[in-house]
A and B are shown apart, each in its own frame.
Chain A
Amino acid sequence: MAGSMHLSRLRTWFLASPPIEFAITNLKELLVGALRQGPIPQHVAFVMDGNRRFARSHGIETVEGHNLGFEALARILEVCYKSGVKVVTIYAFSIENFKRSKFEVDALMDMAKVKLSQMAQHGDLLDRYGAKVRVLGRLDLLKPDVLAAVNKAVDLTSRNGDRVLNICFPYTSRDEITGAIRDTVEDYSTPLRPARTPFSESHIVHNIRAQTLGSSNPQDTHSDSEYSSAESSAHEDDPVLRNDHASRVYESGSSFSSSTTLHLGGQDGHHKGAAAVNTSDGDSPVYMSPETISRQTLTDHMLTKGTPPLDMLVRTSGVERLSDFMLWQCHENTEIVFLDVLWPEFDLWHFLPVLIGWQRRISKSRQNPNAEGNFAGDSPETSEEDMDGMALRQSKVKAI
């Protein structure tokens, strides 16, 4: 035991000696630079598991373990952002974790608060180098002081560059999916204001009737000007929509029961325009048709909206479960990796083989997109995005 202690101390001393440290730093820089030459996942998620077990096995306080975990996070974020990953999502705290000992929960909250408020002190630096920080989860479960720190950090970094750090703070994926469903339902059950369509249908019907009747009234010129403005505004849309619009107007002139045809016309178009417009304004509320809800609608209501699709999910400590993390995001084309290393020990050396393996597979599947078991073959969007990213990166390299 004593021998191994001495050995490990000798090892740390050796690794910490300036020349060795310098060499290792340069080697890491070189490897990260090399990684940039190939395809790089755009969105990586980490489950930072193993802090407590690390603390227990090393005989230190649980809180210390979490602190070391934070160092590991900083280390891995550096690797990710330097190698070109756009979005990193981390699972910092599950809603279930509130069941842990009060001491530990408080310590974790404290740590989050300290880190976030420290970040806020460096506004200038963050502006220049920082990533956008976003906190995903049930913020209403947080204590007010932590919430204030969270809001401040999020506000402060909201204008930063294209790199994003998503912190899932009190988060579970089922909660997220439920939230997305709830928000969607809420969106769809708020009545559309009749003002959504620029003209009152009944008014137009009235005008057309008046025209066909041949009675010239002073409203005529007025309606003409309205009509031309409608035409000009419709020019900005695609011609199909315009025709649709025009035919709608005429149809409503010929037959009064326009609600069904309008409804169908809306469905053919995209979901925003799908308004079941009632001819009798204001009698019953008007809603968007629920049939227009799609996977994309739900994806847009997830907390991760606006981020590229998740390419890789890494969980440390050898536990091979998702534990309610990113269920919606990772069940399609994400590569899930379980590593048998505790999070505080996690470093470039563990992450590198995973990344290289990913690069290998991606470049293989690009060369041979019909190969079985290929990765990005069936989702052209992601590969296109990757290509875009690559082009962007290459141009950046040139620019530098």
Chain B
Amino acid sequence: MVSSTDREILRAEIRSRGDKLNATDRESLLKPYLPDPADLAPANASANSPRRSRAGTTSSQRRQKPRKKPIRTFLKSQLHRFTYAITHIFFGIVVRLLQAYHAVVDRVFAIVYHHHRTPELIRKDVRGLKRLPEHLSVILTLHKEDDALAVLMDEVAELAAWSASAGIPQLSVYEKSGVLKSCIPALHQIISTKLASYFGTPSQQPSLQLFAPHHPVYGTAPNPKSDNPSLTLLLLSSTDGRETIVDLTKTLAEMSQNGKLSPEDITPELVDAEISEITTRPLQAGGRAASPMKPEPDLLLVFGPFLKLDGYPPWQIRLTEMYCTGDRNHGMIGYGEAVEYQGFMRGLWHYAGAQMRFGR
């Protein structure tokens, strides 16, 4: 809210590397933009009493002010309250209009881009893209209904099928409570069924490996001879985030107390190696070789109304691109949370820097 002439003076000052104006010049330039000291005095009177007395030296002014100000303050606050209400009503209308528009667009997309459970169609949808994420990560939420777990597992299965069809070899699924980790065999069963419905006979199905940090790998190792795509699925929960870093700190502290390590040895590289290990190298079960995961996801899809990480492991997302499927709805609750194929596709297209169009 600086006037243009003052801005010009400031720019000239910057151009000369800060030696054109001296301190007093700058202060006089600044003066009109500063609030009245008297306004500030009551706010921090308790903190700084001598300042208040300085402000109070013009006692005649001060005596006038209490008489004048209440009405003005009242009117001003009423005006602000009114404006607040108006802006929010206006914003609400705009958001609802946008929401309606996007709902229609999304339905059209959902019809035009439908996978029909055909991997070929999905592959065709991603063929034109410049790049595909090697490691895709999604944030899902467990809803509160009775069949929430079944719905969640079905969503995971769908996502696994889409990823396998699109040719994304690594998928990690984050769900805050970690309920998925407790039912890995059942989840594997559901995903296998889903893959069968997409790919047909077991010989054509992609090999599926399922694991979670501190859990053994579940599933068959990819057959190097077959050219079927393979999919590694990693299950994450909020304990893999801060908790893991805390655990690492505990271990390091113990080592340091026993004199096995000096605090100077703790470098980002060390922490990175340790933190990455638990999500990349699954525990070997029965001598099967598991393919290592890429520790940092390339793309993070958030199926929710707005972008909130909700406890997602912080260390790994340094350079991850993020995409929120409900982002265009200005965070309205109750929309954009469904895991839909068109949302998944939109994320992939966005990642590749492309725009989705009507008509394949």
Contacts and interface: CB of A to CB of B under 8 A. Distances in A.
Interface of A: 12, 15-16, 21, 24-25, 28-31, 33-38, 67, 70-71, 75, 78, 110, 114-115, 117-118, 121-122, 125, 128-129, 161, 173-175, 177-178, 181-186, 188-189, 287, 290-291, 293-295, 297-298, 320-324, 327-328, 330-338, 353, 356-361, 364-365, 371-375, 396-397, 399-400
Interface string B256-271: 1100000110111001
A333 B266 CA distance: 28
Q: What 9 pairs between A and B have smallest CB-CB spacing?
A: A34-B83, A16-B4, A37-B84, A290-B253, A114-B18, A189-B256, A33-B80, A331-B314, A188-B253
Contacts of A33: 76, 79-80, 83
A361 B319 contact: no
Contacts of A189: 253, 256-257, 263
Contact of B249 (A181, A328, A360): A181
Interface in B312-360: 312-315, 317-323, 330-331, 333-334, 337
A71 B2 CA distance: 10
Contact of A125 (B3, B34, B241): B34
Interface string B288-309: 0000000000000000111111
Contact of A34 (B18, B84, B308, B331): B84
8 contacts: A30-B79, A118-B26, A174-B271, A295-B242, A320-B322, A322-B317, A337-B307, A400-B42
A67 to B, nearest CB: 5
Interface stretch (B85-93, B123-131, B192-200): B85-93
Contact of A320 (B267, B321, B333): B321
Q: Which of A29, A353, A360, A364 has the most CB of B within 10 A?
A: A360
B248 interface: yes
Given A174-B271, A291-B250, A373-B141, 4 more contacts: A37-B81, A186-B256, A298-B242, A364-B333
B263 A182 contact: yes
Given A181-B245, A186-B263, A189-B263, A125 B30 contact: yes
Given A31-B87, A161-B47, A334 B246 contact: no
Contact of A371 (B10, B34, B37, B333): B333
B308 A335 contact: yes
B11 A67 contact: yes
Nearest to B142: A372
Given A186-B263, A332-B309, A338-B322, A114 B257 contact: no
B243 interface: yes
A290 B254 CA distance: 6
A12 B317 CA distance: 41
A223 to B, nearest CB: 33
Chain B CB within 10 Å, residue with most, of A174, A336, A373: A373
Contacts of B318: 173-174, 322-324, 327
B349 to A, nearest CB: 13
A122 B23 contact: yes
A293 B256 CA distance: 14
B239 to A, nearest CB: 11
A373 B337 contact: yes
Interface in B1-42: 1-4, 7, 10-11, 14, 17-18, 23, 26-27, 30, 34-35, 37, 39-40, 42
B84 A29 contact: no
Contacts of A29: 1
B143 A372 contact: yes
B311 interface: yes
Contacts of B243: 295
B1 A28 contact: yes
Contacts of B40: 128-129
A30 B80 CA distance: 7
Contacts of B76: 33
Contacts of B81: 34, 37
Nearest to A336: B307
Contacts of A128: 37, 40, 51
B88 A359 contact: yes
B284 interface: no
Interface string B56-77: 0000000000000100010011
A166 to B, nearest CB: 18
Given A21-B4, A29-B1, A331-B312, A298 B249 contact: yes
A185 B80 contact: no
A185 B252 contact: yes
Nearest to B304: A373
Contacts of A353: 91, 330
Given A33-B76, A34-B80, A321-B321, A400 B266 contact: no
